[in-house]
Amino acid sequence: MKKYFKGGAMVVEGVLADIAEYDVSNNRITAQFDGRGAVSKYAVMNKFSVFSNFYSVYSVDGVPLDYSEPKTVTMVGKKQVVRIAHPKCDIEITLFLDSGTNAIFVQTQVAAKQAIEFSDTVNYGVNYSSYVEQLLANRLSPKTIATLLAGFVKSKKNGLTQVGSHYRLHGDVLGDFYIDFAIGEKAVALEHERGFFNQFAYGARLNAGEVKKMRYVVSAGTRNDYTFSSVDDAFDSFDRALADADAYVDSLACPDGGKVAEVKGQEFADAYYRSLLNCSLSNYKELGKFKGFLAGIVYQFPARTYYRDAYWTVLSVLPVRPDLVRNEIVTLACGINKKGECPSAVKFNFRNYWGNHYDSPSFFVIMIYDYLRHTGDKSILSEQCDCGTVLDAARLVLDRLGEETDASGLLVKSGEFNRRDWCDNVFRCGYVTYDEALYARALFAMAEMCDVVGASGDSWYAKYRKVKESINALLWDDAKGWFVNYKDADFVEDNLSIDTVPVILFGLCDDKRAVSVLSAMEKWLESDKNGEQIAGDFGTLSVYPFYKRATDIVQKSSLPYYYHNGGDWPYLSCVYAYAKLMHGMDYVYPLTRWFEYNFEKGNYTPVEFFSPLHKQGSLLQAWSSTGAFVMSYADGKFFDKQLTQRTK
């Protein structure tokens, strides 16, 4: 397949047989389009996955399209357009989401070169296992049981009926599970399975030179709750929904392409930025008082927002939608208990998800600080939560985290098998440079936030100075020229870890050390420059050499080049690139190589992690949007701005 960038979109040319899967998401659902004019995935937030399979068989004069037909697939925002060149007609299939409706919109435009009969036959399978699994795991309650029982005993009114100018295919699947279609052309309901129709066809006769648009809308979920959408209303609002999808694409306009445009071209810069900003914004969800960014498309059962993922995600959102960042802060504040314990994530019901992490408290405080520095909105500090105000919650989590420090002022990750930070497949105990850097920044942030509200920040500042000094005294390896990964009693994991880069981002070491670390990362972590590693030119390794103590690595990180043990994590590759930008070094390779590699591989939304030697992570991963942050703050000064004149 030929692949390129045009007008801010990703474009793939090939034949109909080629798959081009593209993930999209709005405030209610996630979906995936297959590049052949069909829906390959559909999931309702906090509910379940809908389809086990889905097929659209397009036919001309009763003959299904040949798999060798040439096509062009264009992907941008929440929309995929498939253009197929058939000898008798030109076909353009547009699949898209709007910003907040639980519905997938499909439009097929046919331009006939001669008189033809055109049809689309749709059939699908239902993902019963997801429905049952999520019902038992996350949805079971007296109210749900009552709704389920009512769904089983009531008579189903499944079938095809005409509603105004369109046809509705009503489908009660199981219990409260529904799948409805609204179809603009005269439709025929076909196979009837388990009480509902799972196949239908529609189409039209066209004269030579005639152009016709045929549309349908599908909505699925549970009836009579927040997920339900009327397909009749959605179909009637089709033009509005399409305009919404197009306006959303326009809102993703790239800032000055800068160095990226200079090196990779403006078309690349535009598509790169739009893809990444779309990724972060698409993961924003609202469910009652829960308002925040999910980590990605595989983190919606149950819906939850992570402190660390959210921090890196909102960096790209802050310059365009600071209101969403504000909502995220309030949601995270409501997930903190009165002891000041911060979990890994906050669920939709504000319950704890994997409690008491070492990086979460710092990320919470730093996020507030970044928001305050770049918006000036002090009212965020007085927003209410279970701990009092947001500022009270910030004090509380830092006080609680401070209980984990020793005489050096550094955090001590205690316990033999402690994996409670982002690197959760590695037992990193004792002093962990990553956690220490975040803690130092949080202390400095708290000092300045206290200052601006008229409370002395001196005690927080004193702790900050002590932690900064200890990081440089205890975790710097002069012989290697970088900060060690972690140090636990007599054992030191002294490999070069990309997650130590916050030391540089937050100005915790002098310029000489910063350049030394970045130069080492350039030599050993940038895969095109490391002559020892065997995975080829793919991006940026997260660590090198690989972890040396086998008992410290578990699950996916057990293997070299995989997950935390050398896989490329785009969010870290991009913030490392920003550190290089801050110090006047060439930063384009770590910023863009991961994106290029995955685009060529057929990953058309940002990936969580990957390696040429192992299975990749999930797509449309929110924090992999940090490259858009780098392009938005291309002066390299994002972390420099302060609230006061305190010395870093």
- Range 556-581 average pLDDT: 98
Q: What is the pLDDT of residues 320-361, one digit of tens each?
A: 999 999 999 999 999 999 999 999 999 999 998 888 899 999
- For residue 257, the model assigns a pLDDT of 84
Tokens of 632: 């938005």
Closest CA to 570 of 542, 547, 546: 542
- Give residue 373's pLDDT: 97
Q: pTM for the complete prediction?
A: 0.97
Cβ-contact 186, 167 below 8 angstroms: yes
Q: How high is the pLDDT of residue 336? A: 96
State the average pLDDT over residues 20-49.
97
- Which of 442, 421, 280 is closest to 360 using CA atoms? 421
Res. 146: pLDDT tops 80: no
With residue 445 as reference, give the H or E element that holds it: helix 433-452
Kindly report, residue by residue over 380-401, the tens digit of the pLDDT.
Answer: 999 999 999 999 999 999 999 9
Percent of the chain at pLDDT > 70 equals: 98
Domain boundaries in the chain?
2-231, 252-632
Q: What is the percent of the chain where pLDDT is above 90?
A: 92
The answer to whether 2-231 and 252-632 have equal CATH topology is no
pLDDT of residue 271: 98
CA distance 221 to 227: 6
Quote the pLDDT of residue 399: 98
Residue closest to 98 by CA, chosen among 355, 282, 366: 282
pLDDT of residue 140: 79
pLDDT at 156: 65
Q: Are 302 and 348 in contact (CB under 8 A)?
A: yes
Asked if residue 648 lies in contact with residue 444, where contact means CB atoms within 8 angstroms, the answer is: yes
What is the CATH code for 2-231? Answer: 2.70.98.40
Report the pLDDT value the prediction gives residue 543, as an integer from 0 to 100. Answer: 98
Chain segment 622-637, per-residue pLDDT in tens: 999 999 999 999 999 9
Q: Class for domain 252-632, per CATH?
A: mainly alpha
Q: What is the pLDDT of residue 412?
A: 98
Number of Cβ within 10 Å of residue 174's Cβ equals 17
Tens-place pLDDT, residues 42-57: 999 999 999 999 999 9
- pLDDT band for 154, please (50, 70, 90 cuts): low
What's the confidence (pLDDT) of residue 526?
A: 98
Q: Per residue in 484-516, pLDDT tens?
A: 999 998 999 999 999 999 999 999 999 999 999
Enumerate residues 6+ apart whose C-beta is below 8 A from 187. 160, 167, 169, 200, 201, 202
Mean pLDDT over residues 267-283, rounded?
98
